[in-house]
Structures are given as structure tokens and as C-alpha cells.
């Protein structure tokens, strides 16, 4: 993001477009369209909903903003710090629009991010910059890159400040608020507008804290959400937790956009570190340590793991973590089977019953 902003590109995020498709509950119209041209129903449903919408020549941006189609890219830039699917997704659009795809492939499953990992990724950044310079015919303006990184850092610190207000008991926000307010930190990093947005939001949260306003009236339980949101069920789930007087106080997902390793004076190496260090790119023990720290910090009573069928990369219930959290650390856990966008993988009845049973289990403790 910061490199593209420094070059003066307007940056568009297909992931955000997919989340919008999911939240509007229209992904099921599009996923089969992508399946029909060979993209498996088992792969990322962000990818299949977005490609399906493109093939149908439809976009929710039309209703929301009067924008009739996604923009035609001059270049696609992708970092596979999350998964392969993102690269395949961007490559589809690269072929469609006859635009180059520039990619960064950091080392994966890291327990600690070491100097040689950062060296590797920093070299890839230099290479991407050289390709962009050749493509645009312009040299990268280092001052602009530093400025973009400084603005990213400021926005990320404000975003963290917003999320951290949930440390307070009762919490003034829920995970569901986070899923909405995260948009600027995802798509507007490196821009002043993201900083302005979070300054205003943080001030509002501080006011809520001062006045003792809770997100969930009479908060009884505090829960950590691990994994992707179920975009088409934000309201339904949020209302169920309010009824149960349980607050989802924190999540790995919203925290994943805290990039506080950015350093404006060392933009390339600090970006390499920040974007390689992301939770999803780490080893299972590193992820476990991170979640345990967060559970303690946010005083959470239990963890809900969302096992998203089409996003194994960002689901952490498959390698024994829920069982270890319970057996080794005494933390109650619930695993919900579902998906980020493909609601055919989600059962309202099953989720409702399982969440109720989980809250009863917390009551008994
Ligand atoms: S991390 Fe998951 S949701 Fe994101 S692009 Fe990869 S598979 Fe899709």
C-alpha cells in the first residue's frame, strides 16, 4: 500500500469488495459463476465471490456508491503473507486486464521473524519498486514513501488505541464494531484520511469510556473471536451475543491490521518486517502465544474459533489449538463451522444452539 501511494497510484482492494459482497449476503449468487469457470468451491470464497461478480458484470458498489464496475487496474500488487489464493485471485485479474502482477512472497510459518527473513523480503520490495519505476517511467520519491509509512504508523496506532478500549470492563465496543470500522486501516493506509477517521473514532470511544457506556448492557461474559468474520451474519450474531449479555471483546482478525513495526526513517525494512510478522504468516506456537497474551490482556472468559471452510489459512482450529487451549490453559473454547462468504457452509440453527451451550458452560464455571 505505502509503496503504491508513494508512486501516486489510487489503490483498490478486491478483498474489501468481497467482504462487501459477503456482508450484503449476495455471495451465493456469484460463487457458482466462478466455480463454472474452474475455480473450486473449496478455495477462498472471497476469491470465488469476487471473480463471480466480475464475470456477471455486477458489483454492490453500484447500489452503495453509484459505481458501476470495479476499476481497471494498471498494475496488481500482492503479498502472499496470507495465502496462495490471493495471488491466484490477482493473477485472474492480471490476465483479464492484461496488467502486470507484481508479487512479494515472504517466508512462511515463522516462529520469530529474524533479520535474514527481513533481508529476503526487503530485497523483494526493492525489486517491486524497480519494476514500478520501469513501468511508470518515474523514480520512487523517498520522501513520499516516508510520508506514507508515517501516516500508516499513525493510523495503525490510533486503530490499536480504538481496539484497546475493549480492555475496559465493561467493553465500549464489540468485535462486530471492529469489523465495520476496520475498513480505513485496510484500504486507506498511508493516507491522511485514515488518520483523521481514527482520531475521530478514538475521541468517541474515549467519551464512551468516560461516561461508562458499554457495548453490551450488563456485560456478563467476555469472549475472544479467532478467525474470519461470517460477513453475512454480523447482525444476527451480534444480536445473539447482546441477548446473552456476552461481549466479543477482541479478535485476531481486527488486530491483524496493527502494523506498529513501521518506521518512517527505515521504510522498506520496516514494511518488510511489519508485513512478514502478521499473525497468519506465523507458526502454530507463535499464534498460540499471541492468543494467550490477548486473552489475558482483554480478560476474556473463553475463545470462539471460527473454522472457515474456504479459508484454512486464517482458521486455527485444525491443528489441535482449541484442545490445547482447554487442556493446557483451562480456557473454554467453542469451534463454529462456517465460512466468511459462502453461507452454504453455515447453519444458523447449529451456530445458535452451540453458542447458547457455550454460554451455559461459561455460566457453570
Ligand atoms: S487469507 Fe483466507 S480470506 Fe484471505 S485471501 Fe486467503 S483464503 Fe481468502
The mean pLDDT of 250-259, rounded to a whole number, is 97
The H or E element that residue 31 is part of is helix 27-36
Give the CATH fold of the 2-364 domain: Rossmann fold (3.40.50)
CB of 215 closer than 6 A to ligand 1?
A: no
Residue 210: its pLDDT value, please?
A: 95
CB of 44 closer than 6 A to ligand 1?
A: yes
pLDDT mean across residues, the chain: 97
- Rounded distance between C-alpha atoms, residue 25 and residue 117, angstroms: 40
Torsion, CA 283, CA 284, CA 289, CA 294, rounded to 10: 100
Cell numbers for 278, please give them: 502478521
Residue 69: its pLDDT value, please?
A: 94
Backbone φ and ψ for 214, nearest 5 degrees, come out as -100, 150
The mean pLDDT of 99-103, rounded to a whole number, is 98
Closest atom of ligand 1 to CA, residue 89: 5
**pLDDT tens profile 226-248:** 999 999 999 999 999 999 999 99
CB of 46 closer than 6 A to ligand 1?
A: yes
Residue 330: its pLDDT value, please?
A: 97
Nearest CA to ligand 1 atom 8: 44
The mean pLDDT of 112-118, rounded to a whole number, is 98
Residue 217: its pLDDT value, please?
A: 96
DSSP state string for 80-128:
TTS-HHHHHHHHHHHHHHT--EEEE----SBSS--HHHHHHHHHHHHHH
- CA of 365 relative to ligand 1 center, distance in Å: 35
- What residues pair up with 101 in beta bridges, in sequence order? 76
User: In angstroms, how far is the first alpha carbon of the chain from the final one?
Assistant: 46
Inter-residue contact 73 to 99 (CB < 8 Å): yes
The mean pLDDT of 118-127, rounded to a whole number, is 98
- CA of 3 relative to ligand 1 center, distance in Å: 22
Cell numbers for 360, please give them: 451455559
CB of 313 closer than 6 A to ligand 1?
A: yes
CB of 86 closer than 6 A to ligand 1?
A: yes
CB of 314 closer than 6 A to ligand 1?
A: yes
- Spell out the domain ranges in the chain: 2-364
How would residue 318 be classed by pLDDT, with cut points 50, 70 and 90? very high
Nearest CA to ligand 1 atom 2: 311
What is the sign of the dihedral through the CA atoms of 166, 181, 161 and 199? negative
How would residue 23 be classed by pLDDT, with cut points 50, 70 and 90? very high
Residue 206: its pLDDT value, please?
A: 93
- Rounded distance between C-alpha atoms, residue 251 and residue 178, angstroms: 9
Q: What angle in degrees, to the nearest 10, is found between the helix axes of 192-210 and 142-164?
A: 20
CB of 83 closer than 6 A to ligand 1?
A: yes
pTM of the entire predicted model: 0.96
**pLDDT tens profile 143-180:** 999 999 999 999 999 999 999 999 999 999 999 999 99
Residue 253: its pLDDT value, please?
A: 97
For residue 247, CA distances in Å to 151, 221, 303, 359 come to 31, 6, 11, 11
The mean pLDDT of 53-57, rounded to a whole number, is 98
CB of 85 closer than 6 A to ligand 1?
A: yes
Amino acid at each position: 500500500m505505502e509503496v503504491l501511494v508513494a508512486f501516486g497510484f489510487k489503490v483498490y482492494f478486491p478483498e474489501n469488495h468481497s467482504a462487501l459482497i459477503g456482508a450484503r449476503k449476495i455471495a451465493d449468487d456469484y460463487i457458482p459463476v466462478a466455480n463454472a469457470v474452474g475455480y473450486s468451491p473449496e478455495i477462498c470464497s472471497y476469491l470465488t465471490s469476487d471473480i463471480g461478480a466480475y464475470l456477471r458484470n455486477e458489483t454492490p458498489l453500484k447500489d452503495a456508491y453509484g459505481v458501476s464496475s470495479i476499476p481497471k487496474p494498471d498494475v496488481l500488487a500482492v503479498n502472499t503473507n496470507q495465502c496462495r489464493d490471493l495471488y491466484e485471485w490477482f493473477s485472474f485479474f492480471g490476465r483479464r486486464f492484461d496488467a502486470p502482477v507484481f508479487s512479494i512472497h515472504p517466508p512462511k510459518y515463522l516462529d520469530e521473524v529474524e533479520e535474514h527473513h527481513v533481508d529476503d523480503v526487503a530485497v523483494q520490495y526493492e525489486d517491486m519498486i524497480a519494476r514500478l519505476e520501469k513501468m511508470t517511467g518515474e523514480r520512487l520519491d523517498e520522501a513520499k514513501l516516508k510520508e506514507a509509512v508515517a501516516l500508516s504508523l499513525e493510523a495503525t496506532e490510533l486503530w490499536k488505541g480504538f481496539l484497546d478500549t475493549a480492555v475496559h470492563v465493561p467493553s465500549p465496543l464489540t468485535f462486530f464494531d471492529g469489523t465495520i470500522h476496520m475498513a480505513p486501516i485496510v484500504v486507506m493506509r498511508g493516507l491522511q484520511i485514515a488518520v483523521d477517521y481514527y482520531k475521530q473514532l478514538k475521541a468517541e470511544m474515549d467519551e464512551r469510556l468516560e461516561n461508562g457506556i458499554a457495548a453490551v448492557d450488563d456485560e456478563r461474559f467476555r469472549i475472544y473471536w479467532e478467525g474470519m468474520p461470517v460477513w453475512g451474519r454480523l447482525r444476527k450474531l451480534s444480536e445473539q451475543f447482546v441477548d446473552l449479555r456476552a461481549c466479543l471483546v477482541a479478535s485476531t482478525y481486527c488486530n491483524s491490521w496493527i502494523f506498529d513495526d513501521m518506521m518512517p526513517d527505515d521504510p522498506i525494512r520496516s514494511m518488510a518486517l511489519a508485513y512478514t510478522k502478521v499473525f497468519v504468516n506465523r507458526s502454530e506456537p507463535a499464534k498460540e502465544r499471541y492468543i494467550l497474551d490477548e486473552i489475558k490482556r482483554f480478560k476474556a472468559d473463553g475463545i470462539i474459533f471460527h473454522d472457515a471452510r474456504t479459508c484454512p489459512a486464517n482458521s486455527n482450529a485444525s491443528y489441535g489449538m482449541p484442545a490445547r487451549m482447554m487442556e493446557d490453559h483451562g480456557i473454554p473454547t467453542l469451534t463454529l463451522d462456517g465460512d466468511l462468504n459462502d453461507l452454504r457452509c453455515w447453519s444458523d440453527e447449529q451456530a445458535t444452539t452451540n453458542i447458547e451451550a457455550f454460554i451455559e458452560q461459561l455460566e457453570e464455571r
